[in-house]
Amino acid sequence: MLFHPGTKIPSSFPPSVLGTLFGKGGISDIYHRYDLVAKVTVIGSHRILQSLPVHESLEVSVPPNDSVVYVEGKKINLGYNSALWMYMAVKEAAITRKLQDFLGRPEFRGNAFLLDDQHYLCEVLFLSYIPGQSFVNFMDPRWLHRNSGNKSSYLQTVGEVISKMTSDLTLIHANNVIHRDIALENIIVASGKVHTLIDYGLATFISPEDITEHLPQPGFQGLNTINWSELSIREYVPERKGFGRPYYAAPEVAVGEKGTPASDVFSLGIVFWEALMRESAFLDETFRTRANFRPESTADLLAKLASHPHLSEREKKYAQEAIAHTVVREPEKRDMTAIIRAAEALL
């Protein structure tokens, strides 16, 4: 199912599901009547987006020079200034356009609109509903109960999912993209081993100039109100040091650096550990504590793995090697092949 311009999103949907709102239309005082275009990321089975009526419009009001959107009278704080927010949306669309040919992701669709003089070119990103459930659901003990308590089946699922994520990340990095939001919540587990890494909202190009190759047409020539070069360097509001989820973020990302493919490897290492242990690795982590990540934290993870009740000695060995070569402070010491070997050992 695709969400087309004019799709009416019920006001009962939480802002995190409603996603990014775009639109086009004339100006009426400080309020605008837009045909709705929604970028929606499906997080898990508890947010199934189905049976939405199409060819309807939604009242969206945007006060000038403000980062707040009112949807049917409900205030949604975007958190970014308008130009920066628009840049992030355009960049996400450019990234997903580039990746769709390599990852076989038919849910990505895009169209470009050039709005009037008081608005910006924006890429409209449609995502289809992805069947399945968030990987985080598999940490719930009730999952094992519903599946006859088959722990070997659970570990095999972990191996399948992590193997697919390493394959996806290899392709993503080879195409000059960093995901930067690897998390249990952003992995959809589906039947038929069709597991999907979602949500490229924080992704970026390794080489900034790559965004120009994948921009929507007619292009940015007429957009004199935005300094795109400055935004591509700054990317985020200055007062925000880190981004993403502090309990998955690599130390360099936690201090506001752009990150590298090794940053994704760090995050995937934590995801792998949490999937094996079915518990959070760093529940109370903040960007400040992650920025000061110490070897003792890795040692604690390794010690807990050593006492895993259902891993064989061979599986423990590979799992510990995976964590020791991914969840480390120094990016140059991270090696995703260690996770690949550990995941294969579970199959």
Per-residue pLDDT in tens (0 to 9) along the chain, 347 residues: 233 333 343 444 333 222 333 322 221 211 222 222 333 322 222 222 222 222 223 333 333 333 343 333 444 343 333 444 555 655 666 676 677 666 655 444 433 332 333 333 333 343 444 566 778 877 766 655 555 455 568 889 899 999 999 999 999 999 889 999 999 988 888 766 668 887 777 888 887 666 555 554 433 333 333 444 444 444 444 444 667 788 999 999 988 888 899 999 999 999 999 999 988 899 888 888 999 999 999 999 999 999 998 899 999 999 999 999 999 999 999 999 999 999 999 99
d(CA 14, CA 135): 21
Per-residue pLDDT reduced to its tens digit, 24-51: 222 121 122 222 233 332 222 222 222 2
Alpha-carbon distances, residue 5 vs 55, 65, 125 (angstroms): 7, 24, 10
> What does the pLDDT read at residue 134?
79
d(CA 103, CA 170): 11
Contact 178, 260 (CB under 8 A): yes
Q: How many CB atoms lie within 10 A of CB 128?
A: 16
Which amino acid does the sequence have at 195? H
Please enumerate in sequence order all residues whose Cβ is within 8 A of that of 39, keeping only pairs 6 or more positions apart, or say none. Answer: 19, 20, 22, 89, 92, 124, 125, 126, 127
Contact 161, 150 (CB under 8 A): no
> What does the pLDDT read at residue 27?
19
Q: Where are the alpha helices (DSSP H) in the chain?
A: 15-18, 82-103, 141-146, 151-174, 210-213, 228-234, 251-254, 261-277, 287-291, 295-306, 313-324, 336-345
Per-residue pLDDT reduced to its tens digit, 179-224: 999 999 888 887 666 688 877 778 888 876 665 555 544 333 333 3
Domains and CATH numbers, the chain: 15-126 (no CATH), 133-202+243-345 (1.10.510.10)
Whole-model pTM: value is 0.70
